[in-house]
Structure 1
Amino acid sequence: MALYNGRQNPASRNINRRQGKSPLKIFLVTASIIGGIGLLALAGYLFFLYNSLPRVDRLADYKPPIVSQVFGDDGSLVGEFYLERRIVVPVDKIPRQLIQAFVAAEDANFYQHKGLDYVGILRAAVKNLLSLSKKEGASTITQQVAKSMLLTPEKKFSRKFKEAILAKRMEERLSKDEILYIYLNQIYLGAGSYGVQVAAETYFGKNVDQLNLAEMAMLAGLPKAPNYYSPIKHLDRAKERQAYVLDRMVKEGYITQAEAEHARAMPIVIKSMKTVNSDQSAYFLEHIRIQLEEKYGMDKLYKEGLRIYTTMDGAMQKAAYEAVVTGLKNVDKRQGFRGPLRYLAETEVDDFCRKVEDGIDTASLKEGSTYQGVVTAVNPAKGEATVRVGDRTGILSRKNMAWAGKLQLVNSWGKQEGKGKFLPLGSVVLVSVITPDVNKAGAVLALDQEPEAQAAVVSIDPRTGAVRAMVGGYDFHKSQFNRAIQARRNPGSAFKPLIYAAALDKGLTPATIFDDSPVEYDSGQEKAWRPKNYDNIYRGNVTMREALTNSINVVSVKILEQIGVDYAIDYAKKLGITSPLAANLTLALGSSSLTPLELTSAYAVFASGGYRTTPYFITKVEDSDGKVLEETAPPVIPVMTNNSSATVVDGDGATAPAQAPAPAAGSERGPAAVPVISPETAYIITNLMESVVTSGTGQRARALGRPVAGKTGTTNDMKDAWFIGYVPQLVTGVWVGYDQERSLGAGGSGGQAAAPIWTEFMKQAVARLPVKNFTAPSDITFATIDPQTGKLARDGAPGAIVEGFAAGTEPKSYDSDAPAADDAQ
């Protein structure tokens, strides 16, 4: 560049001017080019978004995922399958005030804007700028629907563009009511509730059209933060948010100030309409869920609102679950207290309790429920401890932990060393609630302990095969293994009735005499096999009835030896046993593993009068339009009624009419009911098992106060405990044991561990059923016999009993070879 007297040469300035290279012009040109490129890029991006976004046309035919409902045999709701718990209701069924409450709280300009609320956006931007944080959002209801229905939940700036475009499209194609219909059925409102109908049921136990203004305002306050404002967990926060919604409704002119004040003063009653207890029916529901998913696929089951009708009796299912929980705790407590779950330092208590509180979804501790608590104070003199459960406290007195033995309450933190059992500060223990807390304090608690043993219960209607209740373990959430249908365990003496029934069909009778004395068999090994009686008592000559009543092992083996192992195996298969069976004499003692469902179903043959039915769980499946997809018609089994053709042989050999039932005329069987043994055999084995209950190993079942037949089972070292029993209308099997086989310890026999669970369940299960006797078919003959000899006994003979026989198998002679006086005449 040329200089002239220290300044730029004028000629050079003229040259630059002519070439148009002013710095300002260069900046402007460059900025224009960059801006143009940016605008083109933005336009291209928006064009791309506009054409790549999902279509909103399908929203006009809104069909969200809806709940598939499961019903019991009485039509009551017993379970649900869903991805999102939602029940869709038309907009005209939603109260207008509820709609207004949501609009006032979430999008006051909803009826004025066209998808985007520009005034709201500006207001939110100013507030957020002034607070230097995101205090307020500006999404309209239309944008929320777009995000929920058509977009992913990603938090990116680009999603806001997508929301805006889709919101505009929706406003062009849908009416305001159509948008509200989608929004109010789609929105998540906490506690697993999607849509206003399910939320109304969950929080207030009502249908949406039954809500009052106070409840409507509380629901409308939930979208902002459903868990934070949950009326179940945080009623105080929920009422604060309710007040905000009511004020907004007043401001928007939807209600008057007086109406708002009245609603604010109304008491809120939290009461769930939801009658489904997923814990008590989990194993039953999981079993049918697997079947349905395999048959119909996941989408149909979880999204299309199937109506599934089952054989479950809701009351029986509840009773089975409660009996298992109570029974296993009793079994476990007999083994003693295993000590605190863990020990906390004082500084760890608050964090631990906050986590516990997050899992409590009720306003107060629920009576009968079990929680983890921390010992925060002890009073050794009074023998009580203060236990903190979440943000609530309760008292654990000496009498409510007496089962644990002599626990030493220690007023110091951490695990204690030394002999004895200690309960120091910081001990985390399981407690059950005897009396709930008031204002989060003063609950009465009892020391509890989660059982290590497991149990299974399955209950079947023997006339149809319908499974009325099934529990597969103590806690489905911790173990989905269904022990009722998946666990194969040795049944022990519970298998004996199958052997005895086979013997009856081989010509043996309840009066057949066997020698109960020690015996040994060649085992093919160095030592011979010597079956032993459970009580190590040998009784000499006994009848078959006495042998089963007292569960005599030696006699059972001798019976199997007499009828043949192969015959017994074939007989068991005829009763429905499908598991492999040991082809040796140990089969008589229940050495082959079976499932509880399998063995209970075999007993059902006896209870039904000789008919084998296939256990089933589902009676009908309908789609959301009511179209039947499948249906199972239960079989019909003949009903026994009184029949005067049966006979009784009296003490002197004369015959007389007996009040014995027979099949009802005109009855017929369904295709699933197959006669596999004679009615006479079914009746006699039932009658033998009645003796097990009245005077044998199953006497705990006498508490039912009605005719009961059943059999206990206990395996070596008490690794498995069983009780299978029935009344004419219901047969139930119970198994108790550890998953990893080991002894149940003291009180672990079938009569002590399984029979109490069976009895507790059956008390509830049969409460609504009429008391019935086991009725004898027409070809049963009753005779007075001497149980010492198995022969006929004369009237007045000491110890004589009346025994039932299949006609023609009753004894023909008396104890003495000499003819009776009446016979000589």
Structure 2
Amino acid sequence: MNTAVSRSGRQRPGIIRLLIRLMLLAGIIGMIGILAAAGSAYLLQPPPIHVDQSTVVYGADQSVIGEHHNGKQRYWVNLEDISPHLVQASVAVEDDEFYEHNGFDLTRIVSAAAVNIRTFSKAQGGSTITQQYARNLFLSHDKTWARKLEEAFYALRLETHYEKKDILEGYLNTIYFGHGAYGIEAAARLYFDTSAEDLSLAQASLLAGLPKGPSYYSPFSHPDRAHERQKLVLSAMEQTGVITAEEKENAENAPLSLEPPGQLSDDRVGPYFQDHVQSLVEQKYDIDPKLVEQGGLRIHTTLDPELQKTAEKWFRNEIPKDSELQGALVAMDPETGNVLAMVGGKNYEESTFNRAADAARAPGSALKPFLYYAALEDGFTPLTSFRSEPSEFTVGSQGRTYAPGNYGEIYANDFIPMYEALAVSDNIYAVKTHMSLGPETLVSTLKEAGITSDLSPIPSLALGTQNVKPLQLTSAYLPFANGGKKAEPRLIKKITDAEGNVLVENEPETTQIFDPQKTYVVTDMMKGVFDVSMDAYTSVTGHSVAHLFNRPLAGKSGSTNHDSWMAGFSPGLAAGVWIGYDDNRKMNHAEEGQISKRIWAQFMEEGLEDELKMDFPSPEEIVKTPIDPETGLLASEECGTSRTIAFEKGTEPQRSCTEELENRQNANPEDHPNEKEEQPPGQQEKLWDRLKRWMQP
């Protein structure tokens, strides 16, 4: 046994020597490879620049709706003719070791590799200015290891053949600054109508931040993001010692007189839609913006050019030209989630900010359909009644009161059913329902529908006091139009490269989130918004536009002091419209409050003019029952006019209104409370118990 141990001990030095020899051999091979690469870089001249190709954007009908024409705005300026502020800002934020390294910054590479390993991605590149310039020349922007090796070899060749000033000059003249501007001279002219030589510190620091994300940080479309990025650039400049703290502060607060974005107007169909498509290409699918501009991509979208023209026409017709009012519209296919039209503002030449995708505004009563869907899940029916009257609610342990009011302070001062409350947009009914369910219920329902905004379970959420975006709200309405199925918004069907290789391919994504019967009941109640024959205590909210269309439509308006909304759908088309002021000033609802409704109604009517006038398909477990509006019981000729209402089978009334008439004739009124106070079996006690609990301190 001792002999065996001794022999094993004598074998270890042999294994160690073998490992050392292998390591030495690997080192020699690696050194030979490095020398070979360096020798090749020295002997080879820089290869020719890749020939640019236009990227083409197609609509749903395969027509060309836009084209990126090889970066038309191009100029070349010598480094000496570029503002020192811009040179310093670019080096500080992109590659502060530029003048020290030989094309590679090992610290940045190791840091980026650590992030990539931790996140299981290749999101962090660690590229130096030389590597970025190499990438611009190669026009290969896929984040693969093979491309990284090519980029590294090309960077080595650049560093071998050119001085630092030449590399920096080439970089600043080829980098993409957004909106078709390549190089700093084009960017200076585009954004500030000045030359690269005359850029101030404030202007230079803003422009130096754009290459990180040209569409994301666009000062035309996202001024707040651009300013935050500018502050980061200035901080980097201060840290590297090229500016003082005082200069940094002055530049951060200096006014930036941007040129109006009218020069961006071109022959694109749906420019706001296409801007959002480009944003998705860059941010969601991680495709380099330079590849989009010059790489010969083919982007197939869901845009319907004719619907887009219809949407823009009604914006022009309905929003006064001399008004500062702004607006947004999103139109979608309820079945697939395809975005068919998008208007992000009344005039792209005046403002490129896409309000449809990026403006978060309070939707007001446009959230009520989700509240009433949640109520149906909790046992309510279209006939469940609450009293419409001025009311105060005690909320929380501090005894605070919340006193919502109806528009114009008009109340029924009586019990009203859910279908009427939705049609006239009664706020008291909505808050009572909301408090009865528990405010968390509406938050949960909205999240299920796809609203990603940060929502709080507060009493006023029932009245839409928290912000959502038009694209989100329109998308959230889709389950009411397609049997409870949520359809993810889809703008891009497919992206291929110049060789026809598929880079991105999207199929419609749908998920059953709501009950088909209950969504149909809500849809049926939403049709009542336009039913001017409804015998309600006040006008239905869609009465002013009901004459503008001649087909079954369901919808809901919403308003706050600062916003006006209209959203709704047919079986084949959904649309949402927002109108308001960018600076959040109060609207004159008497004159401006109907604009969103008129745009929506006329867009829907014209957009569907070639389609059959189809009603919403009814699920099997739905019964449509004539109801006596006075008693809420089954209708009869003896009781007068009736209204047909959709119910889930088994929840419709069982008694006839004639029984109530007989009871009233044979007894004193005091012995029989108003029939409108009746709830479905067990419901009245359940509702009032909850209300009392929520109203207690």
What is the TM-score normalised by the length of structure 2?
A: 0.57
Match of 2:328 among 439, 456, 459: 456
Distance 1:720 1:748 in 2: 13
Deviations 1:172-206 (A, max 9, x none): xxxxxxxxxxxxxxxxxxxx9xxxxxxxxxxxxxx
Aligned mate of 1:711, from 545, 556, 559: 556
Q: Deviations over 1:402-428 (max 9, x none)?
A: xxxxxxxxxxxxxxxxxxxxxxxxxxx
Q: Are 2:74 and 1:83 equivalent residues in the alignment?
A: no
Of 585, 608, 615, the match for 2:489: 615
- For the pair shown, the structure with the greater C-alpha radius of gyration is 1
1:773-805 CA-to-partner distances (Å, cap 9, x unmatched) read 111110001222222232223244213222110
> Displacement, 1:684?
1.1
Counterpart secondary structure, 1:528: strand
Task: Provide the residue aligned with 2:403 in structure 1.
Answer: 530
AA aligned to 2:401 is A
How far apart are 1:66 and its partner, in Å? 2.1
> Structure 1 pair 499/818, CA: closer, same or farther in 2 (3 Å)?
closer
Q: How far, CA to CA, are the matches of 1:522 and 1:617 in structure 2?
A: 45
Q: Aligned with 2:393: secondary structure?
A: coil
CA distance change for structure 1 residues 818 and 690 in 2, over 3 Å: closer, same or farther? closer
| Per-residue CA distance 1:59-111 (angstroms, 9 max, x = gap) | 9xxx632211100111011112233469xxxxxxxxxxxxxxxxxxxxxxxxx
Question: Which digits, 9 at most, give the CA deviation of each residue in 1:467-498, with x for residues without a partner?
Answer: 00111112334333211121111111111111
The aligned residue for residue 204 of structure 2 is none
Output aligned runs, 1:606-685, within 5 Å.
606-634=480-508, 672-685=509-522
Please name the residue that 1:588 is paired with.
Answer: 462
Which protein, 1 or 2, shows the higher relative CO under an 8 Å CA cutoff with sep ≥ 6?
2
Q: Using a 3 Å threshold, how does the CA distance of structure 1 residues 794 and 515 change in structure 2: closer, same or farther?
A: same
Q: Which runs of 5+ in 1 are unaligned?
A: 1-51, 87-149, 151-191, 193-275, 330-447, 635-671
2 CA distance for matches of 1:610 and 1:82?
43
SS of equivalent to 2:401: coil
1: distance between equivalents of 2:456 and 2:48? 62
Residue 311 of structure 1, CA deviation: 0.5
Cα gap change, 1:71 to 1:701, in 2 (>3 Å): farther
Paired residues in the alignment total 421
2:623 to 766, 769, 781: 781
Aligned ranges for residues 372-383 of structure 1 at < 5 Å? none
Corresponding residue of 1:328: 319
TM superposition shift of 1:278 = 4.2
Q: Tell me the SS of whatever aligns to 2:557.
A: strand
Partner of 2:276: 287
Q: Distance in 2 between matches of 1:819 and 1:75?
A: 64
Distance of aligned partners of 1:471 and 1:631 in 2 relative to their CA distance in 1, 3 Å threshold: same
Check conservation: 2:550, 2:605, Cα contact below 8 A.
Answer: no
Alpha-carbon distance in 2 for matches of 1:701, 1:730: 17
Q: 1:722-737, aligned counterparts within 5 Å?
A: 722-737=565-580
Whether 2:564 is the aligned partner of 1:721: answer yes
Match status 1:804 vs 2:610: no
Q: What is the identity, as a one-letter code, of the residue corresponding to 1:599?
A: L
Instruction: Provide the rounded CA distance (Å) in 2 between the counterparts of 1:632 and 1:312.
Output: 14
Read off the aligned partner of 1:531 and give its amino acid letter: P
Given candidates 635, 646, 665, the residue that maps to 1:793 is 635
Supply the distance in 2 between the matched residues of 1:327 and 1:523 (Cα, whole angstroms): 42
Q: Residue 309 of structure 1 aligns with which residue? A: 300
Do structure 1's residue 546 and structure 2's residue 535 form an aligned pair? Answer: no
Match of 1:697 in 2: 541
- 1:771 and 1:817 mapped to 2: Cα distance? 39
CA distance in 2, matches of 1:681, 1:749: 34
- Counterpart position of 1:764: 606
> 2-side partners of 1:476 and 1:77: how far apart?
19
Per the alignment, residue 319 of structure 1 pairs with: 310
List 4+ stretches of structure 1 deviating above 4 A.
54-59, 276-280, 523-527, 816-821
Contact 1:515 1:541 in 2 (8 A): yes
Are the equivalent residues in 1 in contact too, given 2:356–2:469 (CA < 8 A)? yes
> 1: distance between equivalents of 2:476 and 2:313?
25
> Aligned to 2:379, what secondary structure does the other structure show?
coil
Task: Verify the 8 A CA contact 1:490 1:594 in the aligned structure 2.
Answer: yes
CA–CA distance in structure 2, aligned partners of residues 769 and 793 of structure 1 = 34
Aligned mates of 1:596, 1:818 — CA distance in 2:
46
| 1:609–1:683 CA contact under 8 A, matched in 2 | yes
Structure 1 counterpart of 2:475: 601
Distance 2:439 2:54 in 1: 52
Distance in 2 (CA, whole Å) between partners of 1:555 and 1:299 is 54
CA distance, structure 2, for counterparts of residue 590 and residue 749 of structure 1: 19
Structure-2 change in CA distance of 1:770 and 1:471 (3 Å): same
Structure 1 residues 85, 308: closer, same or farther in 2, change over 3 A? farther
Instruction: Give the CA deviation at 1:689.
Output: 0.9
Question: Unaligned regions of 5+ residues in structure 2, if any?
Answer: 1-41, 74-136, 138-179, 181-264, 533-539, 664-697
1:68 is aligned to 2:55: yes
Structure in which a larger fraction of residues adopt strand: 1
- 1:608 CA drift (Å): 1.1
* Counterpart pick for 2:367 among 495, 503, 520: 495
Q: 1:454 to 1:57 in 2, by over 3 A?
A: closer
Q: Are positions 1:686 and 2:512 aligned together?
A: no
Deviation readout 1:121-179 (Å, 9 max, x if unpaired): xxxxxxxxxxxxxxxxxxxxxxxxxxxxx9xxxxxxxxxxxxxxxxxxxxxxxxxxxxx
Partner of 1:743: 586
Q: Which range moved further: 476-485 or 463-472?
A: 476-485
Query: How big is each residue's C-alpha offset from its partner over 1:255-314, in whole Å with a ceiling of 9 and x where there is no partner?
Result: xxxxxxxxxxxxxxxxxxxxx964651111111112223422133211121111000001
Partners of 2:385 and 2:589 lie apart in 1 by 34
- Please say if residues 792 and 815 of structure 1, whose CA atoms lie closer than 8 Å, have aligned partners that are also in contact: yes
Q: In structure 2, how many angstroms separate the alpha carbons of the residues matched to 1:818 and 1:317?
A: 54
Q: Indicate the SS of the match to 1:619.
A: strand
Tell me how far apart the structure 2 counterparts of residues 619 and 728 of structure 1 sit (CA, whole Å): 22
CA distance in 1 between counterparts of 2:275 and 2:476 reads 24
For 2:454 and 2:376, the matched residues in 1 are separated by: 23
C-alpha separation between the residues in 2 aligned to 1:475 and 1:801? 44
Q: Decide whether the 8 Å contact of 2:393 with 2:403 is kept in 1.
A: yes
Measured against aligned partners, the alpha-carbon deviations of 1:681-724 in whole angstroms (never above 9, x if no partner) come to 11111111111022221231541211111111111x3x100000
- Please show how residues 151-550 of structure 1 align to structure 2 within 5 Å: 278=267, 281-294=270-283, 295-329=286-320, 449=322, 451-523=323-395, 528-539=401-412, 540-550=414-424
Distance 1:82 1:578 in 2: 36
Q: Is the 1:543–1:787 contact (alpha carbons within 8 Å) kept by the matching residues of 2?
A: no
**1:384 equivalent in structure 2:** none
Does structure 2 retain, via aligned residues, the 8 Å contact 1:511–1:787?
no
CA distance 1:545–1:760, shift in 2 (3 Å): same
CA distance in 1, matches of 2:660, 2:277: 66
Contact 2:470 2:577 in 1 (8 A): yes
Percentage identity across aligned positions? 37
User: 1:160 maps to what in 2?
Assistant: none
Residue 381 of structure 2 aligns with an amino acid whose one-letter code is T
Q: Verify the 8 A CA contact 2:65 2:269 in the aligned structure 1.
A: no
Report the aligned-residue RMSD.
2.8
Deviation, structure 1 residue 580: 1.8
